[in-house]
Structure 1
Amino acid sequence: MGASIKAQRSESTLRSLITLNHLLHKEERLFSQSQHGTLAVVVASLLTTASTQSSRTFTVTNHCPFTIWPALLTDLQAGTAVPSQPTGWEQASGATVTFAVPYNWAAGRIWGRTECNFTVNPGPTSCATGGCNGGLLCDPGTGGGVPPATLAEFTLGINGLPDYYDVSLVDGSNLPMTITSDKGCPTASCPVDLNPACPSVLAYKDSSGVVVGCESACLANLDGNPNNSPNCCSGSYNTPQTCPASGVTYYSYFKNQCPDTYSYPFDESSGTALWTCAASLSSDYTIVFCP
């Protein structure tokens, strides 16, 4: 029901830069560390040979007491395999949506949008949180959600590599979320609504002044220079050694309440950020909003 007050500021360029930096960090680590990374991961290996694996089934359930507008995005530079589901849809409280996902889906993400109205100038400001280029249907090439937005991230494994998945709070959060596997693999989860107690400097408000999201310290630009920031792991802080979790402002706010999430760009060292499931299991996954 209107754009966020903060979205009216001239911060769209900053937000795009922060999101790009986050993705670049992930891709670099996934190519350099076979046991870690996030989800643009091992993309080169995933795409090298064919596989006889069938598609997977993904289920999205909305347990929030209000309508949300889920969206999905595939990094088309990582792979062209895309889910059968449209890139955005309306989902009422209590509703469940099920769709097929290719066995080799790479660098994919799913998130929830809130307080959307697509009747006028559909685009990134059509929702209080998570809006995208394109309106209801996010643009396949440029339709990443405007943060803060809780993300479910996936790269499904082939050629002996596992599935990688996580719930990411790197760019902040807007809705509680869990990812579960039907094969008993670990649950990635942020079951807590982080908005009510969100530190005031991170609070992201809608047009009526209600806190609808909680920004990361990087997204909120607390240190004033996202190009060289310990909060963003950018510039001279762009390695795990120079960007420890202890140097990220408010890291503990997110990680203590949601330990099984990706809470800053180099969070693999926590051991509870990035999750794997043997691709041979052909796991189906369920994403629940407001579990």
Structure 2
Amino acid sequence: MPITSGAPAHGNPAHLLPPSWKRSVTAWLDEDTPSFDYGGFVVGDSPAEARLLAKSQGILAGVPFFDEVFTQLDCTVEWHAKEGDEVGKEAKQHVATVRGPTRCVLLGERVALNLLARCSGIATKSNSLLQLLRDAGYKNTLAGTRKTTPGFRLVEKYGMLVGGCDPHRMDLSAMTMLKDNHIWACGGSIPTAVAAAKAAGGFAVKVEVECQSQEEADAAIKAGADVVMLDNFTPAGVRDASKSLKKRWRGGGFLIEVSGGLTEENVAEYVCDDIDVISSSSIHQGTKHVDFSLKVVPKEKAATDSKKGEGESMEV
């Protein structure tokens, strides 16, 4: 299936990043070199040039994180592709050039590549799933979930955005989602749980209720839920329930989300006009990374042909 960039049409997604995100990059660098840098001692501070190569096809995502790794190490990055572009269609496509002290280039190499590979993989998977849905006639929202890697959520949610996917709620403070455990802890009463959520969150925090049946969805809508999630329904069950709910609660001002076990293999079966949001953790769980490598250009090659082709190189 052809890859089509799904990056947000308005603005730069990098402008969404909070002030604290650069501290995460510092922590990742600290994790990778907590003590002496023995390899850096070997190579020293002589100037180096390294080429970022895309070795598999995908959507480039995670440019701010890659840049920040090398900014903190006094290196520069010159990009030859932009975020959201398809890369890797050509064998070992030269995507960016990193320049700086040799030991600093090598200090950042693995952290930067891991960030870029994971973020690009999620962007690619998001876009692939979105294209499947569009081809099946679905015009509404595809969203991720909160099933992200602890400590790495910002990167993974960012990849979803670049791939054209809604990141869904960022954390427990972004929206009140009442799952089965919440309902059971409230004595099995959806109205009680929704009322408590509304009292705490006020008008600004939406309330979503995970529902296992139409009866539970009816109770949630009646109680004032903003979103009802039809969880683990069959495709036929989804079509029947969503159509019935929209008809019986016409003008109710609620959204219907469908989730639970949705993958590239089956998601098209769930498409119908009455679903407002389809969410899937397959976007970021078990996602195949986009393969990148960073190659240091030998000094003699950099001196004579630094701007022509990939040339002969050494793997770092």
Return the TM-score normalized by structure 2.
Answer: 0.31
Q: Which has the larger radius of gyration?
A: 2
The normalised TM-score by structure 1 is: 0.33
